[in-house]
């Protein structure tokens, strides 16, 4: 398959890039300024695009590649890919579900504990020498809390399973009530936020879920509530979140994603009730390698005429 041209449009694991380069004729289109020249010179031969959560083909790029057959994304989220244009053009799309579910769910529980028990702040307290001056203040327990989950898909369900291990009550909101779920369903995000201590955002990013966490939801969660976002930054109205934290209208937040990554509101840096992570939900060697192999396996299946492993379109 070394003669098949593949365009890479986002940063991926070095292992994946190396394997793509071994197996295909790989073109580097990560830098948009370089991508234009690559497309101009090689559009007629490019049959696949490899994307990720940080970048994917928009309608213009898809339209500019007449031979494009498949977009394989090194991520679960595909909000950077114009899915409608792919459907219109008959371009197949794959992503990497399942293999990162446990990793993201594990990190979610870690974020909850870090916020409630002030783990990061306690670490700084010891390192600064302040412990010699007196004990750190009391924090808040996680066990027994009510955890609300926005989006009870693979990751949301995995978070719920782990939270049950802490004797937490679980409730959720999704577009439709899940008849086979044992958890309490609320018909709106505001009602969910009003009835939980910790609200976990784990839904896909769509036009309907853009800024689904707004002022009303944040106020419903309240001054003792904690927001955990491991979905996408654009799920949250970030200025509203910042003001709520600064004004004490929200108890705390654990954030792995932000609206304009890698830019993070500087007002959050000095808050001890906020834990900030650089979008590392699936960032372990084991999981990223599994994701890379799934990208490779989907491409191989497509070009060998076999069924795709994780088809989205």
Name the residues annotated as catalytic. Answer: 232, 261, 279
Which two three-digit tokens encode residue 68?
């494009």
296 Cβ neighbours under 8 A, 6+ residues apart: 16, 19, 20, 23
What does the alpha-carbon distance between residue 117 and residue 139 come to, in Å, rounded to a whole number? 5
* Residues 218, 245 contacting (CB under 8 angstroms): no
């Amino acid at each position: 398959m070394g003669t098949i041209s593949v365009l890479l449009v986002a940063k991926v694991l070095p292992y994946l890039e190396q394997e793509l380069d071994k197996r295909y004729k790989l073109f580097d289109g990560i830098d948009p300024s370089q991508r234009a020249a690559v497309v101009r010179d090689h559009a007629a031969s490019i049959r696949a695009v490899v994307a990720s959560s940080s970048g994917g083909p928009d309608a213009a790029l898809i339209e500019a590649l007449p031979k494009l057959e498949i977009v394989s994304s090194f991520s679960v989220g595909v909000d950077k890919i114009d899915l409608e244009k792919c459907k219109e053009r008959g371009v197949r799309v794959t992503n990497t579900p399942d293999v990162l579910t446990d990793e993201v769910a594990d990190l979610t529980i870690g974020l909850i504990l870090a916020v409630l028990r002030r783990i990061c702040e306690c670490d700084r307290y010891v390192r600064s020498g302040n412990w010699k001056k007196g004990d750190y203040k009391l924090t808040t327990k996680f066990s027994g809390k009510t955890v609300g989950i926005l989006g009870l898909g693979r990751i949301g369900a995995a978070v719920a399973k782990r939270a049950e291990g802490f004797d937490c009550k679980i409730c959720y909101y999704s577009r439709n009530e899940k008849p086979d779920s044992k958890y309490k369903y609320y018909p709106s995000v505001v009602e969910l936020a009003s009835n939980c201590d910790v609200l976990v955002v784990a839904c896909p990013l769509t036009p309907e879920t853009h800024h689904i966490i707004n002022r009303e939801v944040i106020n419903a969660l309240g001054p003792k509530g904690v927001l955990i976002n491991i979905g996408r930054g654009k799920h949250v109205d970030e200025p509203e979140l910042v003001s709520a934290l600064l004004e004490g209208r929200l108890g705390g937040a654990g954030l792995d994603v932000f609206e304009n990554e890698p830019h993070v509101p500087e007002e959050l840096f000095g808050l001890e009730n906020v834990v900030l992570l650089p979008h590392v939900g699936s960032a372990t060697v084991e999981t990223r390698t599994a994701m890379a192999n799934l990208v490779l396996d989907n491409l191989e299946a497509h070009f060998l005429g076999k069924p795709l492993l994780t088809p989205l379109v």
